[in-house]
């Protein structure tokens, strides 16, 4: 796969604070690239540097074969972005906002094209209502419509689920997956909701204090021998039944949930055994393994001496 | 792309309710003054020109004509209009930073120079339209309401008379020129508040700062102290009322008679225009430099 984004030795500091410190990574065409890090890790600063909102102190950014800042407009023409929350002109309608940003992106869509785009995000019925009357979820959908109107190759979403209700979060997740599978787009998505990233990302990077801790595909990052499975049951004698099974000593009880630590290849055997033991399963799912990995890596990084 | 951004910026300006505050405020003030003068003007004029009734060749009552009313209104209004200008131009960058729309704008394939130039041009169009609105109400409406005749202007305790007689109208062109120079003065205010807007994250700061600078500079410009006199030529506020120079006629050195169609010091008017243009370029240049270097963190 060809490299769409190549970031090399990127550095940005605000006075004495090193927001991004010698960061390098690549995003390939077709990736859903998860950008992970704690608050203040440097995710938003990096994304803003990709979008030319912040000027790096050193390092280079190459996108679509062009270098920043020399080919800024050629690069930005191929990007659609939502940074944190989609702040729009509240005193204008969704239709006006969409048309305005389409024109700024260098295209002149017809009325039908604009209405189609609004229809795709479920806003066509409220197309001419002022944005100030919209809910946060509607604004987010309008932001998505704006970021896609010029058919960009790369979509950058910085915390796209901020302020959304569970349905809104599920909608965004589905949209990200659709962008890759149906529209063949490349997506960079940052989020503090690790399970959201886990469900959509094909590759990811974890950064801590502006530095890369790890980067790779989902398969590369997760140790199959370190798989966690969460089990919930209404049965009261689950622990007793497990004491007489090969799974004794391989689980912990946390908040009335049984969390098993096992190799990925044993997951189906566990499910089979639990059913064979007559345990009625209310829930059987892999626990947020990304959260596990994230906490482990950031804890390790915190122990490293800072340079 | 420049004209695309300019049309978008103008659309945004004229969809904002705050834009119309200026137009409404000017309309209210002008109409109130016109109504008051229509009702009590002759009495007020008699008081103003008491003892000078027989010095002029114009008919009694004609002193209160459209040109005179316009001069009166401009004298009063051009001091307050900077606030109305700053209300819009001070909001152009800072307001967008506060709304969060600035970062979305700057992720579009538009250069920062082009964006700032288009935004400032839109601010100038607004300033021009506000001035045209003022001209329509204070000059044309007054001309229709009160008629036209000679214009009497009180300058440094001297009454100057401008003629509208069988040799033609010597006043109207002066107004058009005065509005032109007034536009440069107001454009300087627009450039100042626009520049301050680049440095701020909400529009209150640039609006208040612009008015504070104007107040401080105006005090310096009007106080006749040696230190202030030395810096006065460099302050744009010293040229805010230079438009009045178009109502100062040159006199024949031999006869002492006023020369029709002349101004006392054309070079002073050109100088004023030049200094104001220099300020506009300077303010915009500083704003552009800062904007191009600015990290968008809002």
Residue A186 resides in a domain: yes
Residue A39 resides in a domain: yes
Domain boundary among A161, A186, A219: A219
A156 and A32 co-located in one domain = yes
Q: Which residues contact A87 (CB under 8 A, 6 or more apart)?
A: B99, B100, B101, B103, B104
Q: Which residues contact A200 (CB under 8 A, 6 or more apart)?
A: A32, A34, A173, A176, A177, A189
pLDDT above 90: residue B17: no
Q: Distance of CA B252 to CAs A143, B256, B259, B266, Å?
A: 70, 5, 6, 15
pLDDT above 60: residue B54: no
A19 and A121 co-located in one domain = yes
Residue B298 resides in a domain: no
Chosen for mutation from B13, B18, B104 (greatest number of chain A CBs closer than 10 Å) is: B104
What whole-number percentage of chain A has pLDDT above 90?
28
Lowest-pLDDT range of A238-252, B115-129, B153-167: B153-167
Instruction: Read off the pTM.
Output: 0.83
Query: What pLDDT, in 10s, does the model give residues B92-109?
Result: 999 999 888 998 899 999
Domain boundary among A219, A244, A273: A219
How many distinct structural domains can be found in chain A? 2
Residue B168 resides in a domain: yes
pLDDT of residue B61: 53
Q: Which chain A residues contact residue B295 at CB under 8 A?
A: 14, 48, 53-55
A215 and A231 co-located in one domain = no
Query: What pLDDT, in 10s, does the model give residues A97-129?
Result: 999 999 999 899 999 999 998 998 888 889 899
Are residues A20 and A210 in contact, defined by beta-carbon separation less than 8 angstroms?
A: yes
CATH number at residue A129: 3.40.50.300
Q: Which chain B residues contact residue A88 at CB under 8 A?
A: 101, 104
Residue A306 resides in a domain: no
Chain A residue with CA closest to B13: the answer is A91
Domain enclosing residue B229, as ranges: 2-293
Of B3, B263, B109, give the one whose Cα is nearest residue A71. Answer: B109
A101 and A36 co-located in one domain = yes
A169 and A25 co-located in one domain = yes
Report the distance separating Cα B187 and Cα B184, nearest Å.
5
Residue B61, helix vs strand vs coil? coil
Q: Do A53 and B103 touch (CB under 8 A)?
A: yes
Q: Do A104 and B100 touch (CB under 8 A)?
A: no
pLDDT of residue A175: 83
pLDDT of residue A186: 92
Domain enclosing residue A247, as ranges: 224-291
Report the distance separating Cα A171 and Cα A181, nearest Å.
15
pLDDT of residue B159: 56
How many distinct structural domains can be found in chain B? 1
CATH number at residue A233: 3.30.70
Report the distance separating Cα A84 and Cα B176, nearest Å.
50
A142 and A29 co-located in one domain = yes
Q: Average pLDDT of chain A?
A: 85
A110 and A254 co-located in one domain = no
A208 and A242 co-located in one domain = no
pLDDT of residue A184: 85
Residue B60, helix vs strand vs coil? coil
pLDDT of residue B49: 66
């Amino acid at each position: 796969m060809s490299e769409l984004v190549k970031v090399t030795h990127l550095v940005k500091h605000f006075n004495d604070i090193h927001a991004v410190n010698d960061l390098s990574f690549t995003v390939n065409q077709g990736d859903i690239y998860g950008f992970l890090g704690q608050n203040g890790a440097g995710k938003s600063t990096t994304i803003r540097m990709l979008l030319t909102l912040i000027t790096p102190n050193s390092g280079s950014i190459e996108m679509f074969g062009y270098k920043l800042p020399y080919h800024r407009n050629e690069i930005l023409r191929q990007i659609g972005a939502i940074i944190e929350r989609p702040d729009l002109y509240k005193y204008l309608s969704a239709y006006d906002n969409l048309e305005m940003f389409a024109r700024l992106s260098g295209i002149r869509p017809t009325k039908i094209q604009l209405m189609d785009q609004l229809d795709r995000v479920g806003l066509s019925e409220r197309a001419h209502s002022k944005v100030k009357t919209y809910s946060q979820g509607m604004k987010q959908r309008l932001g998505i419509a704006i970021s896609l109107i010029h058919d960009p190759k790369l979509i950058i979403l910085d915390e796209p689920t901020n302020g959304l209700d569970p349905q809104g979060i599920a909608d965004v997740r589905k949209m990200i997956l659709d962008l890759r599978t149906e529209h063949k787009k490349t997506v960079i998505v940052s989020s503090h909701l690790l399970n959201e990233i886990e469900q959509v990302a094909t590759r990811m990077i974890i950064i801590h204090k502006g530095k890369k801790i790890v980067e790779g595909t989902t398969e590369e990052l997760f140790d199959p021998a370190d798989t966690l499975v969460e089990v919930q049951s209404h049965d009261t004698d689950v622990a007793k039944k497990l004491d007489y099974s090969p799974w004794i000593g391989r689980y912990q009880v946390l908040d009335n949930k049984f969390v098993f630590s096992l190799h990925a290849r044993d997951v189906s055997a566990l499910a089979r055994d639990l059913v064979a033991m007559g345990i009625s399963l209310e829930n059987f799912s892999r626990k947020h393994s990304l959260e596990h990995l994230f906490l482990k890596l950031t804890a390790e990084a915190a122990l490293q001496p800072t340079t | 792309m420049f004209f695309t951004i300019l049309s978008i910026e103008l659309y945004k300006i004229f969809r904002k309710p705050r834009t119309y505050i200026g137009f409404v405020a000017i309309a209210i003030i002008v109409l109130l003054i016109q109504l008051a003068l229509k009702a009590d003007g002759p009495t007020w004029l008699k008081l103003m020109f008491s003892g000078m009734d027989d010095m002029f060749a114009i008919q009694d009552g004609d002193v209160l004509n459209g040109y005179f009313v316009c001069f009166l209104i401009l004298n009063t209004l051009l001091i307050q209009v900077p606030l109305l200008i700053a209300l819009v131009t001070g909001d152009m960058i800072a307001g967008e930073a506060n709304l969060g729309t600035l970062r979305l704008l700057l992720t579009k394939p538009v250069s920062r120079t082009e964006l700032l130039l288009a935004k400032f041009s839109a601010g100038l169009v607004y300033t021009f339209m506000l001035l045209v609105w003022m001209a329509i109400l204070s000059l044309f409406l007054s001309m229709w309401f009160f008629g036209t005749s000679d214009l009497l202007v009180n300058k440094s305790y001297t009454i100057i008379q401008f003629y509208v007689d069988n040799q033609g109208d010597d006043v109207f062109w002066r107004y058009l020129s005065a509005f032109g120079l007034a536009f440069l003065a107001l454009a300087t205010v627009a450039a100042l508040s626009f520049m301050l807007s680049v440095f701020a994250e909400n529009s209150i700061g640039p609006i208040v700062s612009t008015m504070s600078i104007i107040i401080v500079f105006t005090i310096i410009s009007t106080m006749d102290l040696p230190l202030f006199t030395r810096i006065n030529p460099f302050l744009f506020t010293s040229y805010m009322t230079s438009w009045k120079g178009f109502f100062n006629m040159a006199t024949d050195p031999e006869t002492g008679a006023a020369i029709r169609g002349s101004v006392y010091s054309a070079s002073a008017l050109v100088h004023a225009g030049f200094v104001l243009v220099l300020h506009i370029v300077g303010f915009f240049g500083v704003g552009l430099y800062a904007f191009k270097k600015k990290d968008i963190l809002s």
